[in-house]
Structure 1
Amino acid sequence: MKTLAPIALLATLTLAAGTAGAQGQPVIGLITKTETNPFFVKMKEGADAEARKLGAKLLSAAGKTDGDNAGQVTAMENMMAAGAKTILITPSDSKAIVPAIKKARAQGVMVIALDSPTDPLEATDALFATNNYKAGELIGQYAKAALGGKPAVIATLDLFPGHPVGAQRHNGFLKGFGLPAPDAKSNELGGKAAGVVCMADSFGDRAKGQTGMENCLQKNPNINLVYTINEPAAAGAYNALKAAGKEKDVVIVSVDGGCAGVADVGKGVIAATSQQYPLRMAAMGVAAGVEYARTGKKVSGYTDTGVALIAAKPVSGVESKDVKTGMDLCWGNK
């Protein structure tokens, strides 16, 4: 949270839950990694809209930064004290959050992971998320075709070590490109397969993506393909390539489908991106929470919330949607 200390947040949530309880409303919590990332802003919008539609009370909170596990644990505790019987969470730390989730579930709270799985996956009741391995495969297939038979000299700008989403996208990209890769269940990045000359952690950040790309260019100035964990990292990579006078010689592929990223596809900054749908994830999570509150029925397992490849220039053998379609379905500021 940005402004509320834990005690103040608890008081706010308790008051809200008391009002909701008096009206017989289901109380559902949503905890995102941050409150500023457009992806999570759209997720909150989706949750808000579905809660209003179904007559539920939504409590929301976020970590201060991506990776703020302590902030998410505090938010879970506060929401349980406020009467939430379902908590939707995008885990910042897939392993460290597990004890807090176990505690919540032991008290009868249904916990659904959105976007990012826990480690182990079974720590939550259910997962509503993009098939991140498939998202990676799609951009890997596109990149292979876009190079047109040229030998690949690849840099990967990843998330950070041990994060399952980062591993799944990275490994899916390798698989789609036709390189040896771990399967979708692995949380470890595939190593430097043939053609991968540099791997850097970007933390999904534009500035860190630019620094990572600059470092990769120092290692090998002949890079002609860049995989990025998300579109801010891709924008940073492009800035580094442009500063080096190499932006026209390199194919950049990414994952997210935010409005800024799709616009960058239209501008030629990114060749293709795999679009995911945070509003859909959150709406489905709220609906499941309302169902649990009213009938006691829990959801379980993994639900794929969809992914589509967005590209300005279609390539043979790889299904994609155009930039206009991507902009119609994107999230964030247009």
Structure 2
Amino acid sequence: MKRSIGLAVALLVAAVVFSGLASAADKPLVGLITKTNTNPYFVTMKKGAQKEAKKLGINLRTYAGRYDGDNQSQVRAIENLISAGADGILITPNDPEAIVPTIRKARDAGIFVIALDTRLNPADAADATFATNNFKAGVKIGKWARAMLGDKAKDAHIAMLDLHKNQPTVGVQRDQGFLKGFGIEINDPNFIGDENDDRIVGHDVTAGNPQGGRRAAENLLQRNHNTNVMYSINEPAAAGAYQALKSFGLTDQVLLVAIDGSCAGVRNVKAGRLDATSMQFPLRMAKKGMKAMAEYIKTGEKPVSGFVNTGTKLVTKTPVETVDSISPEKGLKLCWGQ
């Protein structure tokens, strides 16, 4: 009797498992490949995509680089999705140029590819891109910082905290946008560091995390103690930079600006640990990307192509006439993450 009951339970469990596998196999397969699983920005994007996939009846497999800049893990993820017969891939590329040959293999296999957050290089290597206009996001914080300094802007000392030495497109666009907004002549807008303006203290890289932000800020502050403007590629790096400013006793001297718009970042603006941030909308990117995938799977037609701007808003406690902005209180109603 006990053996019969045990056998029945085993068969029931097997049936449930098989039913779940069959159900997943019946759904169209889409892959989401983010830069990391640690940055709150990409964690938010992943959660948004998973929620939308469930609503749309899509089997979503998620992958991520081990660290920001890890191209090889993303290559393997794409190869796995090609082998699995995926219908589509959404990717935030760690290396927008190095990943292109593998992206082309996916598209040659009939997979619809959408870049999120970061454009590929060249941009048309993806079928479409849903992202912030990172250059314009940089321009906003650059204009704001210039307006805050007023006449003193002509004698500014600017520290630039960038992303990686390989200069991914998102990092280049934000950096160059900031400098353009501040009124500094940029030479090649696709390259960081070729400017000829003495106001730039220097560029250093952060890997987009607090530890890298603190290290880069310390390096540049040691180079020039008169630094009064500090640009950061994102809010995690800016959080590290703030700790460096605090240790140097320069929090009141330096305007610290960034791009992200996380709830943690907006709280830092409210608390005075960050002076302004350009808010992005990763949930909007994920939702639009998944809906485009669903439409493609349903019709066989690609519903979108080229670049789709998902918008930005400047968040600061100190508005200026030349740049539209919102308060931290309003920003907390629009922000993402914890």
Pairing partner for 1:53 from 52, 55, 65? 55
CA distance in 2, matches of 1:122, 1:64: 26
Alpha carbons 1:179, 1:194 under 8 Å: kept: no
Alignment deviations for residues 76-101 of structure 1 (CA, whole Å, 9 cap, x no partner): 12222333211000001111111111
Output aligned runs, 1:40-79, within 5 Å. 40-79=42-81
Q: Does residue 219 of structure 1 match 2:242?
A: no
1:260 paired residue number:
264
Alignment deviations for residues 206-250 of structure 1 (CA, whole Å, 9 cap, x no partner): 111111111111111100010111111111111111111111111
1:114 paired residue number:
116
Q: Helix, strand or coil: the match of 2:294?
A: helix
2:301 paired residue number:
297
Q: Helix, strand or coil: the match of 1:199?
A: strand
Q: Which amino acid aligns with 2:255?
A: V
CA distance in 2, matches of 1:90, 1:187: 20
Q: Which amino acid aligns with 1:127?
A: T
Unaligned segments of structure 2, at least 5 residues = 1-18
Output aligned runs, 1:149-228, within 5 Å. 149-150=151-152, 151-161=155-165, 162-182=167-187, 186-228=190-232
Q: TM-score, normalised by structure 2?
A: 0.90
Q: 1:310 to 1:276 in 2, by over 3 A?
A: same
1:316 paired residue number:
321
Q: Which amino acid aligns with 1:40?
A: F
Q: TM-score, normalised by structure 1?
A: 0.91
Alpha carbons 1:171, 1:182 under 8 Å: kept: no
The alpha carbon displacement at 1:118 in A equals: 1.1
CA distance in 1, matches of 2:195, 2:51: 42
Unaligned segments of structure 1, at least 5 residues = 1-14
Q: Does residue 135 of structure 1 match 2:140?
A: no
Q: Which amino acid aligns with 2:281?
A: Y
Aligned length: 316
CA distance in 2, matches of 1:53, 1:296: 20
Q: Which amino acid aligns with 1:260?
A: A
CA distance in 1, matches of 2:101, 2:247: 46
Alpha carbons 2:258, 2:277 under 8 Å: kept: yes
The alpha carbon displacement at 1:19 in A equals: 3.4
Stretch moving more, 192-201 or 284-293? 192-201
The alpha carbon displacement at 1:199 in A equals: 1.4
The alpha carbon displacement at 1:187 in A equals: 4.4
1:145 paired residue number:
147
Q: Helix, strand or coil: the match of 1:149?
A: helix
Q: Helix, strand or coil: the match of 1:269?
A: coil
Pairing partner for 2:95 from 68, 89, 93? 93
2:16 paired residue number:
none
Q: 1:17 to 1:276 in 2, by over 3 A?
A: farther
The alpha carbon displacement at 1:191 in A equals: 2.4
1:330 paired residue number:
335
Q: Which amino acid aligns with 1:315?
A: V
| Structure having the higher Rg | 2
1:4 paired residue number:
none
